[in-house]
């Protein structure tokens, strides 16, 4: 006893003791939970396993990025759902980032109207729950857009209806490899030219029109390859046939509403993050840049943003994670993401709640960790290098 109390009185050993107690309590708690699950599964006479993933799913999905029929397995249905999640998260992140940067810069604009408009947008958007944004956009599209028979059209190529937006679909034909070669060549040359331009600027201070030249490379090379290969891409145009449009690519209202809502909502947060990052850059930097005669957009692009980026990236990462996780609200409007397929219909048809939910949670965890890892890598690349 006295030995114990002397351990307890010593600050260092007390710290270790407390940690051991907490750890033991922690594990006791979890083992109790697990044994409870096991005993409840036993009483319900339920097994635990993932065999159900190999059974035919039996249901159809309206948006599939890979081949899928109702005879495909539950696993394939889950992958279809996962790809739909990736699609909405990917497009959402790009849109939200672009819009967010514009908002952040606009918010700091010296133009009163632009700055106030950005302010009103941000306050109105981020103070309304994202689920309402999603329902609102879906409601707007479904209720105000015309029926396919009275579709709005842009030159009989784009069609806008309450069943979604229809655009022509490119179809690859033989010889497409030459076009891909053109794209790869464009990538190669544009990166090379940018490097050359930077090296030259460093040496002589002379600037080359990098953007314009690279734009030309990106347009000309693939276009040249396209004609050299005898135009190996044809377009399938959407056309009204029966109840709906056939052909082309359909962007269903659920996808459009979800992407819009998520990016518009998240952009408001990103705007504030960008603003904070810009303000955090010492104002002497701006003054110095102006003093050496840089133009306002050069000041922003060459001096302010590269420094603000270091401050922006960590909170930006968590916004990307939020957007990805918020995409699970898709189920509210029937967008078939991973939650609606694996965590919804599959779960309900097979009754494997535990397995399905564990998988869905595991998948979101992995996606989030991948995004975090990428953003951490990028952050370490742009951070201030101590010299």
Partner 1 sequence: MKKTSWMVAGLASIALAGTAGAATLDDVRAKGELTCIVNTGLAGFAAPNDQGVWSGFDIDYCRAVAAAVLGDAGAVGFVPSTTAERFTKLRAGEGEILSRNTTWTFSRDVDLQQTFVGVNYYDGQGFMVPASLGVSSATELDGASVCIQTGTTTELNLAEYFSLNNISYEPVPIATNAEAQANYLAGRCDVYTTDASGLAATKAAFDNPNDHVVLPEVISKEPLGPVVRHGDDQWADIASWTLKAMMVAEELGITSQNADEMKGSENPEIRRLLGVEELQGVTTLGLSPDWAYNIITQVGNYGESFERHLGKSTKLGLSRGINALAKDGGLHYIPPVK
Residues that bind partner 1 (CB under 8 A): 29-30, 33-34, 36-37, 39-40, 43-46, 58-62, 69-70, 142-143, 147, 162-163, 241-244, 246, 253, 331-332, 334, 336, 340, 344-345, 347-351, 353-354, 357-358, 361-362, 365
Q: How far apart are CA 145 and CA 148, in angstroms?
A: 9
CA-to-CA separations, 192 to 44, 198, 205, 213, 219, in angstroms, rounded: 65, 10, 18, 12, 16
Nearer to partner 1, 81 or 271 (CB): 81
Nearer of residues 49 and 205 to partner 1, judged by Cβ: 49
- Provide, rounded to whole angstroms, the least separation between the CB of residue 330 and partner 1: 10
Least CB distance to partner 1 at residue 145 (A)? 9
Q: Are the C-beta atoms of residues 134 and 329 closer than 8 Å to each other?
A: yes
Considering the complex, state which of residue 230 and residue 362 has its C-beta at the smaller distance from partner 1.
362
Give me the least distance between CB of 163 and partner 1, in Å please.
6
Nearer to partner 1, 274 or 360 (CB): 360
Cβ atoms within 10 A of the Cβ of 249, count?
Answer: 13
In a 13 Å sphere around the CA of 93, the CA atoms on its Cβ side amount to 17
Q: For residues 212 and 190, what is the distance between their CA atoms, to the nearest angstrom?
A: 11
Buried b (16+ CB within 10 A) or exposed e, 55-68: eebebebebbeeeb
Nearest residue (CB) to partner 1, 151 versus 268: 151
CB of 325 to partner 1, least distance (A): 14
- CB nearer partner 1, residue 236 or residue 348: 348
Q: Whose structure tokens read 């535990």?
A: 354
- Shortest separation between residue 28's beta carbon and partner 1, angstroms: 12
- The tokens of 55 are what? 């059974």
CB of 93 to partner 1, least distance (A): 23
């Amino acid at each position: 006893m006295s030995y114990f109390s002397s351990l307890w009185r010593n600050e260092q050993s007390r710290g270790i003791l407390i940690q051991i107690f907490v750890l033991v309590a922690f594990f006791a708690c979890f083992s109790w939970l697990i044994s409870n699950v096991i005993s409840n599964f036993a009483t319900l006479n339920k097994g635990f396993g993932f065999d159900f993933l190999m059974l035919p799913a039996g249901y159809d999905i309206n948006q599939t990025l890979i081949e899928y029929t109702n005879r495909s397995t539950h696993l394939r249905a889950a992958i279809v759902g996962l790809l739909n999640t990736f699609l909405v998260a990917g497009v959402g992140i790009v849109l939200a980032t672009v819009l967010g940067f514009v908002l952040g810069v606009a918010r700091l604009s010296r133009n009163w109207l632009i700055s106030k408009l950005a302010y009103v947008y941000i306050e109105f958007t981020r103070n309304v729950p994202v689920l309402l944004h999603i329902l609102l956009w879906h409601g707007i599209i479904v209720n105000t857009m015309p029926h396919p028979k009275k579709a709005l059209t842009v030159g009989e190529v784009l069609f806008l209806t309450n069943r979604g937006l229809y655009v022509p679909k490119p179809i690859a034909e033989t010889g497409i490899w030459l076009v891909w070669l053109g794209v790869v060549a464009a990538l190669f040359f544009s990166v090379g030219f940018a490097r050359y331009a930077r090296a030259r600027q460093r040496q002589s201070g002379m600037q080359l029109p990098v953007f314009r030249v690279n734009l030309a490379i990106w347009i000309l090379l693939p276009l040249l390859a396209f004609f050299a290969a005898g135009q190996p891409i044809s377009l399938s145009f959407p056309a009204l046939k029966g109840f709906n449009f056939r052909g082309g690519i359909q962007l269903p209202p659920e996808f459009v509403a979800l992407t819009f809502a998520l990016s518009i909502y998240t952009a408001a947060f990103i705007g504030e993050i960008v603003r904070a990052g810009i303000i955090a850059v010492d104002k002497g930097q701006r003054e110095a840049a102006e003093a050496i005669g840089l133009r306002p957009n050069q000041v922003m692009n060459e001096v302010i943003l590269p420094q603000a980026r270091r401050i922006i990236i960590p909170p930006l990462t968590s916004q990307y994670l939020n957007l990805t996780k918020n995409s699970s609200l898709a189920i509210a409007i029937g967008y078939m993401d991973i939650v609606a397929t694996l965590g919804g219909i599959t779960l309900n048809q097979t009754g494997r709640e535990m397995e399905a939910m564990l998988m869905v949670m595991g998948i979101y965890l992995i996606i989030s960790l991948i995004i975090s890892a990428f953003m951490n890598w990028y952050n370490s690349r742009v951070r201030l290098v101590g010299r």
